[in-house]
Amino acid sequence: MTAPQQATDTGELSAVLARILTEVGPSAGQAGRVADYIPALSAVDPATFGFAATDLTGHTIGVGEWEIPFSIQSVSKVFSLALVLSIEGDQLWRRVGREPSGNPFNSLVQLEHESGIPRNPLINAGALVVTDRLLTLTGDARGAVRDFLRAESGDDRVDFDAAVARSEAEHGDRNAALAHLMASYGNLENPVAAVLEHYFWQCSIAMSCRDLALAGSFLARHGVRADGSRLLSRSEAKRVNSVMLTCGAYDAAGEFAYRVGLPGKSGVGGGILAVVPGRYSLCTWSPALDERGNSVAGVAALDHFTTLTGLSVF
């Protein structure tokens, strides 16, 4: 077998994605299970598979079901984090840490042990703090995230899925417990009910692999938005990418870094956003999840991508 070559043009990248579709696509749904603890997500076909790649100019190609919208869930946390950092910089880090959790993404035990300061912004407790701060700064946290995603993807159809938001609210007791616990430590500024509402609706946003890859490409461009304006400084974009690498796959972040070697953020809707800084923004979607909440086929596809192209941060 020859050494992997770095993908540099559309034809080469298309061939890589076609090979991933052939080698990974048929296995989608054969292992893992959909997130049935959120009833509105339970009806999604576990065998679905899509993959999209966007370069720094916004040119996007994909394979499989790459243009079908799905619930982005926790992938949205990357964008709320970036928006808060863009407004007030490092002040957020007084209220949330930057370390991997090593525990389930909704652990109450860890949160109480650390006196209401979440371990990082990509677990549920940390994301609730980010949503809380974004609500204070903008008055409409969920709308700010949706509008940003619309602008960066160039797709005004990007919107909330009301059925998913309601389903999450009806089965969101653990998130409510996390929020109340943080409020008891003084780490929420807004009423718990308001923070939860904005958080559930933010997570319900539906996007395709195409749109999500486009929306995340500001991280590949070191903080520069699709219109050429700067959202984050180069240093801030580096820090978001580093948090994604170390914390983006819940308590399987080490395994994700080992297999994929890219900053990434997964969601229980089956999506994974990954970044090749200076080159590409990638999005995979396959709803069957492993026991830690990460897409089985999505991780395999990204593993194939970095192996075939030789592109990683290592």
**Active-site annotation, residues:** 74, 77, 199, 250, 268
Residue 263: CB atoms within 10 Å? 27
CA distance between the termini of the chain = 21
Instruction: Kindly provide the b/e burial profile for residues 36-49, where b requires at least 16 CB atoms within 10 angstroms of the residue's own CB.
Output: eebebbeebebbbb
Angstrom CA distances, 216 to 6, 31, 197, 260, stand at 21, 28, 24, 17
Would you say 198 and 76 are in contact if contact means Cβ atoms under 8 Å apart?
A: no
For tokens 């916004």, the residue is: 58
Query: What is d(CA 9, CA 260) in angstroms, rounded to the nearest whole number?
Result: 21
